[in-house]
């Protein structure tokens, strides 16, 4: 049963297109302004939040409530939490939720990843934020928009976590806070990159996921691959380049034989098979991989953020990389 459950999570994460856990910056949403000091001058009243009309990634003009209180943004919770927003319900699959966010979302009820109409209706949301266009194919957009204003990021934004953060910040009236979170992340990543260059300049890395007895390797421009190569400047192994060029998926199947040829100095292993005994790691072929023989494999459980993306997830990955490589 655990293998079936893990594979359900795998199917979701492979299909997903696709930070600084700062969360404590505040945005000034309407500070009172004062006229020049004269006897007759009086302070201007504070600006109250108002409804706004925004055009989403699919061209819909969406009326955003002044102060939405019950937001559902399935698989976008990383951004909400970073912006100090707790959703009305959180994304889930059969075997759980995004574990790395549970310090903030532990008491938040769950909703199935595919947002069944009846389930959405039962939560009484006042705003829906949807990531990909495929999530509202057919008549789904019309159904959701009858429940609450529905803003779709669209694939171009949804596939770039930086754009997604800024757009969600705009939708929620937290533009300055979103920009501040992004700025802090860029600073953190740049500092980490400098540190890594001083320790392992020119060395390569790969992120490998073990689930259901099979191995998957992250592509070079998405998810944890984007953090390793774009943000931290680690070299991309030729094996990763080859597999990434042949697929648009975030995580791609790779055989043990292919792994044996993996030209990576460092391997970050996300092991979802711990409960099942991690039998694949006992295979002699795994033990023959250069990074394994050199003791440069760093193992993490599926409760970590390596399978996801967003300001919180990516910031935690940076912490993991530094703790693993920089001694």
Concatenated DSSP letters of 87-156? -SBEEEBTTBS-GGGHHHHTTSPEEETT--HHHHHHH--SEEEE--GGGGTTTHHHHHHHHS-EEE--HH
| Domain 50-178 top-level CATH class | alpha beta
* Lowest mean per-residue pLDDT among 8-22, 190-204, 236-250: 8-22
Q: Please check whether residue 234 is in contact with residue 266, taking contact to mean a CB–CB distance below 8 angstroms.
A: yes
Cα-based distances in Å from 306 to 97, 137, 192, 266:
14, 28, 17, 15
> What mean pLDDT is predicted for residues 275-283?
95
> In terms of CATH architecture, what is 200-325?
3-Layer(aba) Sandwich (3.40)
pLDDT > 70: percent of the chain: 85
Q: How confident is the prediction for the chain on average, in pLDDT?
A: 88
Residues of the chain with CATH 3.40.50.1980: 50-178, 200-325
Q: What is the pLDDT of residues 72-111, one digit of tens each?
A: 999 999 999 999 999 999 999 988 999 999 999 999 999 9
pTM, whole model, 2 decimals?
0.86
């Amino acid at each position: 049963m655990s293998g079936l459950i893990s594979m359900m999570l795998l199917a979701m994460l492979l299909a997903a297109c696709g930070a600084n856990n700062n969360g404590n910056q505040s945005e000034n949403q309407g500070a009172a302004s004062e006229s020049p000091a004269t006897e007759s001058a009086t302070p201007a009243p504070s600006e109250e939040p108002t409804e706004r009309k925004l055009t989403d990634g699919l061209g819909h003009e969406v009326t955003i409530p002044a102060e939405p209180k019950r937001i559902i943004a399935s698989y976008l919770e990383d951004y909400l939490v970073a912006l100090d927003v707790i959703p009305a319900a959180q994304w889930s699959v059969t075997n759980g939720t995004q574990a790395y966010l549970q310090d903030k979302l532990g008491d938040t009820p769950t909703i199935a990843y595919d947002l069944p109409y009846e389930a959405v209706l039962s939560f009484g949301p006042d705003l829906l934020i949807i990531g990909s266009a495929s999530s509202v194919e057919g008549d789904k957009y019309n159904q959701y928009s009858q429940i609450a204003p529905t803003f779709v990021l669209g694939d171009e934004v949804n596939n770039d976590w930086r754009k997604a953060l800024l757009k969600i910040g705009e939708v929620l009236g937290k533009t300055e806070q979103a920009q501040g979170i992004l700025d802090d992340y860029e600073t953190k990543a740049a500092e980490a990159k400098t540190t890594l260059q001083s320790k392992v300049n020119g060395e390569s890395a790969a992120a490998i996921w073990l689930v259901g007895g099979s191995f998957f390797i992250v592509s070079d421009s998405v998810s944890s691959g984007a953090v390793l190569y774009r943000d931290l400047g680690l070299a991309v192994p030729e094996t990763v380049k080859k597999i990434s060029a042949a697929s648009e998926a975030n995580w791609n199947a790779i055989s043990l034989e292919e792994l044996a040829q993996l030209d990576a100095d460092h391997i970050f292993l996300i092991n979802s098979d711990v409960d099942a005994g991690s039998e694949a790691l006992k295979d002699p072929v795994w033990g023959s991989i250069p990074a394994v023989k050199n003791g440069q494999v760093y193992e993490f459980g599926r409760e970590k953020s390596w399978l996801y993306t967003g300001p919180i997830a990516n910031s935690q990955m940076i912490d993991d990389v530094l703790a693993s490589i920089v001694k």
